[in-house]
Amino acid sequence: MHHWVYLIIAIVSEVVATSALKASTGFSKPLPSALVVVGYLVSFYFLSLTLKTIPVGVAYAIWSGVGVVLISVVAWLLYGQKLDLPALIGMGLIISGVMVINLFSNTAGH
C-alpha cells in the first residue's frame, strides 16, 4: 500500500515544481528556482520507489495524467489560466483513464 503513498508524493511534488517553474521566470528568481529543483528531485525519487511495485507504464500513466489535471487546476487558481470546454473534457477523459487503470487493470500493482 505504501507504493500508492509514494506515487501521491511524486505527483504532488511534481505539481509544486511545475507551478514554481512558471514563478521562477526562467530561473531568474532564486526561491521558486530552488523549489523547482527540489520538487523535481523529490518527485523522481518517490516515482522511483513506486516503480519497485507498480509497472512503469501504469505508474507513469497515473503520475502524468493526474499531474496534468492538478497542474491545470493550480494554473487556473494561481495564474488565471482559462480552461475551455475541450480542455475540461480532455481532463475528464484523463481522470477516466486513470480510474480504469486503477479499478480494472491487473497490472496496476494492487
Per-residue confidence band for 103, with pLDDT thresholds at 50, 70 and 90: confident
Domain boundaries, the chain: 2-104
Per residue in 74-85, pLDDT (tens digit) is: 999 999 999 999
pLDDT of res. 52: 94
pTM, two decimals, is 0.86
Cell of 54: 507498480
Element (H, E) at 72: helix 56-79
pLDDT of res. 21: 94
